[in-house]
Amino acid sequence: MKSIATKSLAVVALVTTMGLSVPAVAFAASTTASSSNTAAASTPWTTWRATWVTYVQGIKAINTTFHTSMGTARSTLQAALAAATTKAERQAAISAFEVSAEAALNVRVAAITAAGDPPAPPAGYNGTAYVDGIQAANEAFRATVATAQSTLSTSLAAATTPQEAKTAHLTYQQTVGTAVSTRAAALLALGTPPSNPGQLL
């Protein structure tokens, strides 16, 4: 049982880290898109950037909610395991954690799905192609993770033995690991960010 609980905590940490890394990349790209002249007139690029920042803030809020829910579930699990004196009590603690994790995953998947894709940058700017590339990599990553989370949630709900739950976690970790590598390769292929992304070509 201990190995299953440890695996569950590792999955939680992995999901949270990957989820938060997506907005971080988006903010980095958005920041480079801004002009040093804060009084500059509005342009299609600056208008788009504002909508993108709003979108990313929404994704960050979703991830914060998920992180909080999982943190609470983890604390509850640790307290229950510390107080458990029998195998049945430990199993009950782990089962309760799985239920909480499943609920948090479902909420996060639903929220990210509802958020949809980020706004596309306007055509004709130095940063258009670069941002399009970032968005494509991030959208593919989010879609893969969301699908993996849905599969994990379904598998945990259907699991009737500790081994089945463990297998579901391992499959999830492998899927996310592949998605991380794919996303990293796609971002690396974009090369150096343009120095003046908000400038017209």
Instruction: Count Cα atoms within 13 angstroms, Cβ side, for 109.
Output: 18
- Residue 200: beta bridge partners? 125
Cα-based distances in Å from 13 to 67, 101, 113, 170, 195: 9, 12, 21, 14, 34
pLDDT of residue 122: 94
- Whether residue 11 is predicted with pLDDT greater than 80 in this model: the reply is no
Is position 37 within any domain?
no
Is position 194 within any domain?
no
- Residue 125: beta bridge partners? 200
Length of the chain: 201
Q: What percent of the chain has a predicted confidence (pLDDT) above 90?
A: 36
Is position 91 within any domain?
yes
Is position 195 within any domain?
no
Is position 175 within any domain?
yes
pLDDT of residue 161: 86
Q: Which of 23-37, 62-76, 156-170 has the lowest mean pLDDT?
A: 23-37
Task: Considering only residues 180 and 10, tell me which one the structure prediction assigns the higher pLDDT.
Answer: 180
Is position 135 within any domain?
yes
Is position 196 within any domain?
no
Q: What is the DSSP string of 4-33?
A: HHHHHHHHHHHHHHHHHHHHHHHHHHHHHH
C-alpha 201: how far from its chain's center? Answer: 33
Say what angle helices 87-115 and 2-33 make with each other, to 10 degrees.
Answer: 20
79 touches 15 (CB < 8 A): no
| Each residue's pLDDT tens digit, 89-137 | 998 998 899 889 888 888 888 898 898 888 999 999 999 999 999 889 8
pLDDT band of residue 39 (cuts 50, 70, 90) is low
> What are the two backbone dihedrals, phi and then psi, of residue 117, each rounded to the nearest 5 degrees?
-85, 155
- Whether residue 19 is predicted with pLDDT greater than 50 in this model: the reply is no
pLDDT of residue 6: 46
Is position 198 within any domain?
no
| Each residue's pLDDT tens digit, 142-192 | 889 888 888 988 898 888 888 898 899 899 889 989 999 999 999 999 998
Range of the domain at 101: 2-31+44-189
Q: How many domains does the chain have?
A: 1
Q: Is the pTM of this model over 0.85?
A: no
> What are the two backbone dihedrals, phi and then psi, of residue 86, each rounded to the nearest 5 degrees?
-130, 160
